[in-house]
Every structure is written in C-alpha cells, then in structure tokens.
Amino acid sequence: MCAAPISAADAWTGADTEWERLQMAAAEAFAANDLDGAAAHSAAALRTARASFEADDPRLATSLANYAAALRQKGEPVPAMLWEEALGIWDRTAAWLARQRLAPRASSSIFHLRLETRHAGAYDANLRRRAAALADEARVATAALAAGARAGGPDRAAFQAFRSARRDALRKVLAAAHLLVAPAPARDARPRPAQDGS
C-alpha cells in the first residue's frame, strides 16, 4: 500500500521544531515565575511564527497570546492588537485545518484499517473534529486571557503527551493548544470546613 506523497506544506521544518522549543522554554519560564525569560522566549517564538508560518496558522495565535500574556505579567503595556490578532487567527483556524493533510495514525490496528476502508473518510473527519475542538478551546482560553484572566503555565502532562505525536498538521494544532499559557484556574479564597476525623 502506497502512502500519498508529502507536499512541502505537510513537511516538518526546522522552524516547526524551533517554535516548539521556544514555546516549551517560555512555558518552563512561566512555571518558574521567570517573567523576563517567558517574555524573551515568547517574543522569539512569535518572530519564528511570523517569519515561517501561514497567517492563519494556530501556532501564530498561540505565539501572540503568550507574548501578550508575558508582557502583562511583567506589568508592561500590551497592545490590544496582539489579542485581536490572536483571536482573529483562532477564528480562521477552520480554513487552515481544511488545507491540511491529516495522515492516519501508524498505530492503527488491522481492524481499524478495515473499518476505515469500509467507511472512507471517517478517520479523517474524526481527526478534524478533534483538531477543531482543540482550536475552539484554545480560542476560549485566549479570550479569557484577553479579558484579563491571569496566565498560568500550560498543563505539563498535556504538552508532554503531544511531543510523541507524529510531526504533521495535527501535532501543530496539539502544540498550539497545549502550549498556550492557559488562564490560571480560579481559586476559592474561602476556607473549607474541616472534615470529621481530620
């Protein structure tokens, strides 16, 4: 069985790897409360995204939001256009996804391969639904950040999980969604009553 040829748009580039490295460094800096480091790595990731990715690539939206969040955490002024551009890109992610080739996962069993043969396009549709759902969640998180929610570090378990994913368009969406500095969860400031027996 022959796989479809990989186009230049599908190929994984050095810029893709560099962007992930910079965003992971920014995430680690956020987690360590190193706001200068978070801002520097976020700025470098944004430069990489602007120079190398399409204008509607979700990783550009993550770069804009993370840089804006880093500036705000440092107490620096944040141009509203950073948030507006990030939200606009998330709104156009469906068009970006439609142009991407989402390859079937190599770990598919014979059962799943037969199922895909009988129901052509079902796996592709499912992968696209998953990618669209991740993009929608990231857009909501970006809107919360833009509205003033305090940035938190990305979920380390989630972004470690995407690192084992195939280097393709789905991984690009996974990285964009999981490397976004998600709003910190609201903490209930009221003391909780002690449990009996504690």
Give pLDDT tens digits for 64-78. 999 999 999 999 999
Neighbours of 35 (CB within 10 A): 18
Per-residue pLDDT reduced to its tens digit, 46-103? 999 999 999 999 999 999 999 999 999 999 999 999 999 999 999 999 999 999 887 6
Q: What percent of the chain has pLDDT over 90?
A: 51
Looking at residue 196, what is its pLDDT?
A: 39
Looking at residue 4, what is its pLDDT?
A: 42
- The domain spans of the chain are 14-178
Contact between 81 and 65 under an 8 Å Cβ cutoff? The reply is no
Higher-scoring residue by pLDDT: 156, 179: 179
CA distance linking residue 17 with residue 1, whole number of Å: 29
Per-residue pLDDT reduced to its tens digit, 129-161? 989 999 999 999 999 999 999 887 766 666 666
Contact between 48 and 15 under an 8 Å Cβ cutoff? The reply is yes
Kindly tell me if the per-residue pLDDT of 3 is higher than 60.
no
CA distance linking residue 174 with residue 19, whole number of Å: 13
Looking at residue 94, what is its pLDDT?
A: 93
Per-residue pLDDT reduced to its tens digit, 100-117? 887 665 555 777 677 777
